[in-house]
């Protein structure tokens, strides 16, 4: 397994949890199974692409994986706000 794969899987898990759990709880709703299912194949595609890129430029691929993790935590993608916003709203801050 490439070094960037674990980071990318964490990115996908955070995105999925944000869409299915954090966003509904932050808006006062319940956890829903209705989420953007395209996150799963996109995560797998990114993991494969960065694993291939890691063979050519390992430092660049791993750095790009870490940048994607930072971006998914702070920037809102899709219909839901960022995970940090949703978690802070769910905790009452």
pTM listed for this prediction: 0.86
The model's pLDDT over 18-74, given as tens digits with 9 standing for 90+, comes to 888 888 877 777 887 778 889 999 999 999 999 999 999 999 999 999 999 999 999
Give the whole-angstrom CA distance, residue 30 versus residue 12.
21
Structure tokens at 70: 């930072």
Give me the long-range contacts of 26-32 (CB less than 8 A, separation at least 24).
26/81, 26/85, 26/86, 26/87, 26/89, 26/90
Quote the tokens at residue 24. 């509904």
Q: What would the two tokens of residue 31 be?
A: 């956890």
């Amino acid at each position: 397994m490439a070094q960037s794969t674990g980071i990318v899987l964490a990115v996908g898990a955070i995105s999925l949890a944000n869409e299915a759990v954090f966003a509904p709880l932050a808006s006062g709703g319940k956890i829903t199974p209705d989420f953007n299912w395209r996150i799963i194949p996109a995560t797998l595609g990114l993991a494969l692409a960065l694993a291939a890129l890691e063979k050519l430029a390992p430092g660049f691929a791993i750095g790009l994986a870490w940048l994607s993790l930072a971006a998914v935590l702070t920037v809102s993608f899709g219909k839901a706000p960022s995970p940090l916003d949703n978690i802070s709203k769910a905790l009452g801050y």
